[in-house]
Structure 1
Amino acid sequence: MSFLMAVSVSACGADSPQAEQSAPKPAQTSPAEAAAPTPDYPTKQIEYIVPYSAGGGVDLVARATADYLSKEWGQPIVVVNKAGGGGAVGAEYALKQAKPDGYTALAVNVSNTTMLTAGMLNSPVKNEDQIYTTRIGKGTLAFAVKADAPWKDFAEFSQWVKVNPEQLTWTSVGPAGFSAFGVAEWLDAIGADFSKTRMIVTKGASDSVPKVAGGHAILAVHTVGEIMPMLQAGKVKILAVSGKERSPFLPDVPTAEESGMKGLTVFWWTGVSFAKGTPDYVVTKWQDAIAKMEKDPAFAKKLTDIQVESAYANREDFNQDVIRETEYYTELATKKNMRK
């Protein structure tokens, strides 16, 4: 305590008349306010908006979550697919058009949050429009080409792209999509000209990977789980996965780092968010229920079956991660002239 402050406190001590007159009186809380119960929730059907087509990773995780919570709460949680705009159409509906009463949840994803904000100068959906409630799962980024593509490994493919960037076609839900940032980061690492490559817009992984399998695009960059069905059918092959560690679902596939490309950090995640203004008791109930859900063996098996790794984060940690990601992806998008 400073000298001046000490004098001031001494001069207006607890025994002085001045202290009695100026001291604030403690706020009085009525017994009714103190005992106010948390409203019942949910008491009716909840719409769980997936802003992508059915069959992709976000959709599959949302359906597994909806199934668990419907049984947990005794109320139906209905998954509604609203694809379009790189995830923006469904996100706008959930965050700006529906009432913020807890009965419209958004299956939030890296593509329609941090990447959308970074990829668009005036994003229709911003971080401040929503309450990031919980992250549920994450997925390793994988680079897939047609099964009979001529490249024997990722290093050879990367060298070909570096020399022939104008011949590379790759799929994405839009310029701010997960695939776009995965491709941009990879091309930056190998020194290839991103601006000379060509993006083919799709509705999501369930549309994107078949295009590569059919020879309509050269590269699809999605999660291991999203590519797995076409991989198992022998229609595509995965040349590498991102990150420093191999995917637990594809232990025989090398990482990009093993192929000489360091610094590939883009990864996929999905979770739940609500519109700003949604009551705290709703957010807390979802956060606590999902924390319990992640420990449920049956739910864990569902994630494993779709090749998604558990990645629970509570509201506070989720928000901090979103802030860091937004900064990184904005720098990458600016560097590659991706911001539109």
Structure 2
Amino acid sequence: MIRLRSSFSVALVMLASASLAQAADYPNKNIDYVVPFASGGAVDITGRMIAEAAPEAFDGKKFIVKNMPGGGAVVGQTYVSSAPADGYTLLAMTSSVINNSLMKDVSYDLDSFTPLALYNLDPEVIVTSAKGDLPDLKAFLAAASHGSVSIATPGNSTSHHIAALALAQQQGLDFRYVHNASAAMQLQQLMGGHVQAGFMSLGEAVGPAKDGNIRILAVMDQARSDLAPDVPTYQEVTGDDVQWGTFRGIGAPAGLPDEVEAELASRLQKVLTSPEFIERMAAAGYKVDYRDDAAFRQYLDKTATQMEQVIPLLESQS
């Protein structure tokens, strides 16, 4: 019995030593950063800004952005969930991780990932084509109250689709959904006048709105954003407190050694809170709202609980 305990203790020490050695040697090669969406959307754009800033905090090692679209992010998320938990495969995490695990037949769930950092909380906005016949929120709501309004989404069960479903239920609105394969395609639908309106994140909408291609009708947040100070909140116009938004963060496969997780989280904090990165994000229309690995995990758990309450709306649309 004494020998068994001694052997077990030796094994634990060896495992701990190996983990510490792995952390001390990290990083010794480039890191794959998987974006589970097509290029051109907010997750891809902000991911590439992270990749450009990463080498300084990662001893010169690069973040290699790999776009893996498909299945509403299922392809990329499946890939990362089954990748080695060694710190060399990271995932651009959005609410789709939660939505897909709750709504689709996938091989992973939220616990299949290690949350490392949240870097952006982006309020939802309602937009129309700049050339459309819905010039403001009141006109949009009137049209959706007395008839069907076509709504472009970046995909079925995405956070933007869910935001539209939730608003339609709360306010008694009638939407006809046109699902696209990406945020870029959603924007093309709007700009081309193929649909009347859409739901997207503020960060995605600011640039096209400044270029005169789309019109932002309202921000679904507590206060106006300094990124679009002339756009009213939904509550300002209607009196109803309607809030919705999306998040962007970074995760890894579950099972990361504690020391590697700590090393990754620390280095990511340097990247995501640097003045240069914050300035670049702001110039592109994205506000940095950094939360560390523990706070990100809490946020994910809360969001998952909220999503479970919205599932019946999604199921009614299927």
- What's the TM-score, normalizing by structure 1? 0.83
Q: What percentage of aligned pairs have identical amino acids?
A: 23
**Does structure 2 retain, via aligned residues, the 8 Å contact 1:240–1:255?**
yes
Aligned partner of 1:176: which letter?
S
Q: CA deviation at 1:253?
A: 0.4
2:130 maps to what in 1? 147
2:26 aligned to which of 27, 37, 41: 41
What's the offset of the Cα at 1:286?
A: 2.0
Instruction: Select 1:115's aligned residue among 99, 102, 113.
Output: 99
Q: Which amino acid aligns with 1:173?
A: P
Do the aligned residues in 2 keep the contact of 1:172 with 1:208 (CA within 8 Å)? yes
| Residues 305, 322 of structure 1: alpha-carbon distance in 2 compared, 3 angstrom cutoff | same
Distance 2:106 2:296 in 1: 20
Q: Is residue 247 of structure 1 aligned with residue 232 of structure 2? A: no
Q: How far is 1:259 from its partner? A: 1.6
Map of 1:92 onto structure 2: 78
> Aligned match of 1:65 in 40, 47, 50?
50
Question: d(CA) in 1 for partners of 2:115 and 2:142?
Answer: 40
Measured in 2, the distance between the counterparts of 1:309 and 1:229 equals: 14
Q: What is the alpha-carbon distance in structure 2 between the residues aligned to residue 320 and residue 94 of structure 1? A: 21
Superposed displacement of residue 188, structure 1 = 2.1
3-state SS of 1:52 partner: coil
C-alpha displacement of 1:279: 2.4
2:30 aligned with 1:52: no
For residues 105 and 159 of structure 1, what CA distance do their matches in structure 2 show? 44
Query: What is the distance in 1 between the residues matched to 2:187 and 2:234?
Result: 20
One-letter amino acid of the counterpart of residue 127, structure 2: A
1:292 is displaced (CA, Å) by 2.1
Equivalences for residues 251-266 of structure 1 within 5 A = 251-260=229-238, 262-266=240-244
TM-score by length of 2: 0.88
Deviation at 1:185, TM superposition (A): 2.0
Seen in structure 2, the aligned counterparts of structure 1 residues 114 and 155 have a Cα distance that, compared at 3 Å, is farther
1:161 to 144, 163, 173: 144
Aligned equivalents of 1:35, 1:101: Cα separation in 2: 15
Superposition deviation, residue 277 in structure 1: 2.1
Match for 1:157: what amino acid? F
1:51 to partner: Cα distance: 0.7
Query: 1:300/1:77 Cα in 2 relative to 1: closer, same or farther (>3 Å)?
Result: same
Total equivalences in the alignment = 308
| TM-fit CA distance, 1:290 | 2.2
1:271-310 correspondence runs (5 A)? 271-310=249-288
**Partner in structure 1 of residue 156 of structure 2:** 175
CA deviation after TM superposition for structure 1 residue 248, in Å: 1.3
